[in-house]
Structure 1
């Protein structure tokens, strides 16, 4: 898979570190209980199809990217610089 870094151009995915879904998770209340915290910390959706993920260009420019890709085909549609509060 090649990720089109907006700063460096297309690069092999091995230059990047996957950080997870770009969507914010709903953090449980501090007193929510062990089951709620266990679910928050350990369980994630594993969608088939289009996703928006956060990637770090570790072996390159050091940019954080939001990558839109298809998990079934490994096709990358877009890669944009992540910005605080971007959706």
Structure 2
């Protein structure tokens, strides 16, 4: 699964209510893809749900803090 930048104009919560530009979305996508590549090098294979969470962040539908919290909750839930 791949992170896809969409063309929707989303206003991110906590981002001074500014619309995310295509450049900002591309920058976020690059950072996330680098982080995921590093995770793969460490032996972790991101799930489709992980990629979906990061896609929400890249496209401005949730903040970085929300994304990390959601991923942590998912990881902790899967350890039970």
What TM-score comes out, normalization by structure 1 length? 0.26
Higher-RCO chain (CA-CA 8 Å, sequence separation at least 6): 2
User: Counting strand residues as a fraction of each chain, which structure ranks higher?
Assistant: 1
User: Counting helix residues as a fraction of each chain, which structure ranks higher?
Assistant: 2
What TM-score comes out, normalization by structure 2 length? 0.27
